[in-house]
Structure 1
């Protein structure tokens, strides 16, 4: 029995319901791999593949190793249309008043059918272009299915590459030279692809197709196709198209033949042309046998063409920055330190910061910024006030200021050797305090000492000179910010030999008006950090000669505790440490008479700062109370709020209702522990270390309900 008869016999066994399917498939795989199948056998096998009653096992094995053309014929074009006809998702339709669902092959099976089609494309011969071109409307319709997109995109690209596949394309003299107009592509094809890419911005296949459009027509304005008029990143990524399976033996078997007929030569020529097209879309140069640079040249698939580059001056939104990030052209990155910043200054800084996140020390942008930073921001003769126009704070915000650690340390060490710091240097030092943290402690301490020394010199001047100096320094705006900056820095100094400096900083940093402004803030983090700072200065050991400092420290602690915990806010007693936050007694008396204090029993000046009524913590505490109530199965009432000692007592004494079994003080301790677990550690640092009833009451996170 010859090979063709063996294949025919195996196919008949597959068709016969009583045949030995396993043996027939094994024999068929061996024969097809060795000699290929004839046109009639190929048609019979395709009939089995597309027959809905064929089992998945048989269909998959036929697609795997049996559909190998022998090479002495060309596959009829209608088989390509047959393949496209089975691709897609099941559709629901109505017939005779009943709902029906069309049957489709499973997605893996559809992918195997498409992969086989990719493998045998050369066997369609020179008519391949005509087949693909006529199928373009169907192909673009199938582009919305993600599972088949790499295969469909491959078909579309090959259809438009027809002139490179040996096809004769006649262009009349009257025809336009626009490639999109003389090719089968239409504007709606590009628009459809752009719309899909807008919905699936990370899809490698859609990116490859858009890049293909751009290469075909360099005059194509992609920005007009996007609704946002911003072109996203168009770099090529792996998996954009589907290439023939390396294990497919159809082509390799033809190449091994010494001589082939005209049909075989046509198939091999087409295979060579297709391979050249596939190489343009390969991302990894390791997979290529030729140099990728010489192959790609200036092709759009390898480099960003000039018409796709986006100037940084055109970026005015986050979405624009993200979509064009890899195409942005920023010639002068040092302009982020310009004294007169451009309108999109924020986005320039953000772009540079994103670049610096992975920048090597030799990065050109980093080197340019380093020089600009030293010249514009850190030089000793900076113009007073000019720092407001610089953008170093943006690098701190975006986490890339550490790239300039050496520049900061060099600046601080250099100025520490100067005997007399002028006003301009003092101003620059004060404004740079927020960023001292990136330097070593050994460098920071001398710099802060220089600031203290300069402040001492200012105090020795006349009143008019001090007033002039404060005006020059813009003290009204600078001092509050400086206080917050020093507060953050003090936590950096925890060794014993550094407490002397902290002792000196307390007088510069903690003026009552500034400190209690933070304690009475409506932002919970600010309140917590301010209380945490008070807890840290409470530990300072001051000498008996520093009576002013001791009194100031004690009043900070007592007034803050009265305000936030004891329901004794603004308590003032002459000759004691209860100073009412250093507000005037007459002001405190008038404040208690305000309408929202005097016309309601729900809130008073005494309890307005308590964590259960404080605007910064009231809602957080209410949520915690709701959580505690939800955990109790037997309660019959919820606290109506606002929470106070009287309201808690009233709810618990109601004989007809049952609430949480805890006193007002126990409830506050529970709330304090929950706030501490949420990250407001400053509250706990002060209260748990200052009040005897709260000693050993600080809970660990795992102990909280």
Structure 2
């Protein structure tokens, strides 16, 4: 940008600052100038506006608009600008000084993350400064690594420094004492490693430690950061790809040759299954995707020349990197070669071998509902044949298959209640080959259903949660699952059902839960059409057989009850023992808490026991559940039963 264009942009920024808003004409002008980029003079003014706090500061939405439109440099940024950005990153909570609360001096987390995102997109313009002042930046970045919300971008910057300048890992010079050296591996690396130990599941910290370990190896391979994907005999070579940002530079692209080595002398295979080369290229590939130095078309071309049937490749890190990338680019993510491989592998003779590899790529597909349904049905038919040949292997593969599908819905869910119901029934049917996965699966399906409810923002419902999911969670034997489904059904009671049949199904869910947990009427059935007593929708012919198969010591009605069920028995026993201790009783009730046992203890002249009815004991257990955070069960019972109205929290 020339000085006249700078002046015009600065006038717009001054107007925005005064009026605390940005109009459409100003936004259009900034959008036009965005392609050319802005000088450092403009960038500094934008940063001053963004990081300003107090009564004169702009609203969050206006600041975010300025970040997206104006943080696009046209020249290399100075160390002062970079330090200004880093100095304004950090925790946003208020501080207490004595009795006075001091407001935060940092902008919001969302704004900080967006600023760092723009830096990564325009990393070329910060490269010379980062390389020149690496000894100053390393301690600052290492400190910022402690904040989880910044960790993705800060770790990428640190990996860039270590990959571009391996000597930075070896030592940093103390500028006050030039003769002394501080080894990064001994100081910063140990601090990074400590963070990684505290947060072992954080992939950013784990990958950063791997990069440092690989570079500090005595014989590290050569590498370059800026890469694009092309074919070689061993896999993929890494070459420079800097054309996009060079269009905004005032200097020619030839002047960037000092940033990387000569690309003709560098070739790194990512086809090798292990070793330090893989680790290095893995992180170079990840940084490039996040920094928009590599587009998905190039990745797609790479997949087209690679054999999907190579086990080492299918288990490759590239799948994990692309999955992480997809979380931040949900709408634009599409790789046609992966779709073709996963969705269209239907040949009988090759299916067993392909199925081993396809499960790794399911989370990367982007397709419509009909293709997804067709694929699952086809794979289910094949599994019915091959599962008998090797049950252990295909059970494990089927578990992964289902989990990959559920992971896919985190980023690419069709957003349809009808699709959710249909896919739920198909996946539950598929889980016959891997029953252990069912509890995890129904949890995930319930979360997806809740997400749709939040998105719908309506008090009208045209679909209920599938009965198979409700009753699987109800009868699984896991208190957390039971509490989760109770909470959901209690929440759904506030909705208005457009179909009378759906309303009756929802009422039957409530009745089944209340009958099982509280009333001692498990599998209560009434054949009338308008009755809510449907006995879990079992076939009425099966009910007599089920009732006759129950143990004589415990009636069918008490199955699942709050005093008799294995789900509640531990908490129920502790509650009863606590009541006995509070009343200083020597006698302890033995056996199940049936009406007969309680009546026997209370009428036995040789013992003195609690003079409480069985209903009162059940209420004490329910209050204990409430105090322990099982609000789903308690919401369902306290809000559904008139006999418990007003009893919650009352001693």
For Structure 1 versus Structure 2, the TM-score category normalised by the shorter chain is 0.3 to 0.5
* Structure 1 length-normalised TM: 0.38
* Structure 2 length-normalised TM: 0.41
Larger of the two Rg values belongs to structure: 1
